[in-house]
Structures are given as structure tokens and as C-alpha cells.
Amino acid sequence: MPGTVTVACKLPHGLVLQEQTMVKRSEPVMGGGYREYEIAVRTGRAITVAGSARPVNPSEEVEFAPHAGGYGLTPGVDRDFFDRWLAQNRELDAVKKGFIFAASSDDRARGMAREGKAGLCGMEPVNPRDLPTEFRSIKTAEK
């Protein structure tokens, strides 16, 4: 085992990472007979990666995952596991656009997250001082 990595995730809700194995199954078809198909079946343990969201009214005993540059950081993820997951999910938009990545150390992950090359993921909360154009023309009721 080559060690662990720190996984950075910009998605607010985080992500559950789990490996998959392709399994052959068969199903009946109209007119009789069966056809074979492959389906991905989750295998192994699931690892929950922290997202960028924070609770609005946290209680004092809640412990937050570390954050940097709009990414939630999850240290101590097995490097082999993450490499296999990344290979299986290389076509996922979050992977392609850099919303989830891993670094060899916590400091390196913080530095990469602060660079902010991924930009906005589209799930950020709305800034009431900078509303989208379609909402600016809405008038509120006068008291």
C-alpha cells in the first residue's frame, strides 16, 4: 500500500466513493428468450468525502471537515482505493472539471484548492447582492 491521500471535493453535499464491478445478468425479452447485459455492482467499502457546505446553525459539538479554497478536504483516504475509483469514474463531470481531486499531502491539497482552477461548480448558494438577471426585475411588496 503506497499510503494515503487527501481528497478535495468542491461539491457542497460531498460524495460517497465506492468501487464497482461489472457483472453479467440476463433478463427475459418479449417473444420469449433472454438477453444478457452488464451492470455495475457496488463492491467494497464506501468512503464519504466531505463537501464544501457548512451547516447554517451548527451546535457546539459538531466537528467540521477542513476546508480550503471552496473545497472540503478529507485526509487519510487510501491511495490505491482512490486511484481505482478515479479510473472507474474518469468520465464523471466532477472529475473532468476538477471538482474532486486528490493530493499526496494535506498542505498540497490546500494549495491546489486555493488555486481554484475548477471555478464554480454551479451548486453554490445564491448571493442576494448579485442576483441573476431574471430575478432582478421582481418587485417586492411595499409595507
DSSP state of 61: T
Per-10-residue mean pLDDT of the chain, 143 residues long, equals 84 88 92 92 88 68 68 90 91 88 86 74 73 72 65
Residue 68 pLDDT: 77
Residue 36 pLDDT: 94
Residue 1 pLDDT: 45
Distance CA 124, CA 71 (A): 12
Give the Å distances, CA to CA, from 131 to 15, 20, 54, 70, 137: 28, 41, 21, 20, 10
Distance CA 80, CA 119 (A): 28
Distance CA 3, CA 89 (A): 21
Give every CB contact of residue 4 below 8 A, 6+ residues apart in sequence: 75, 76, 77, 78, 79
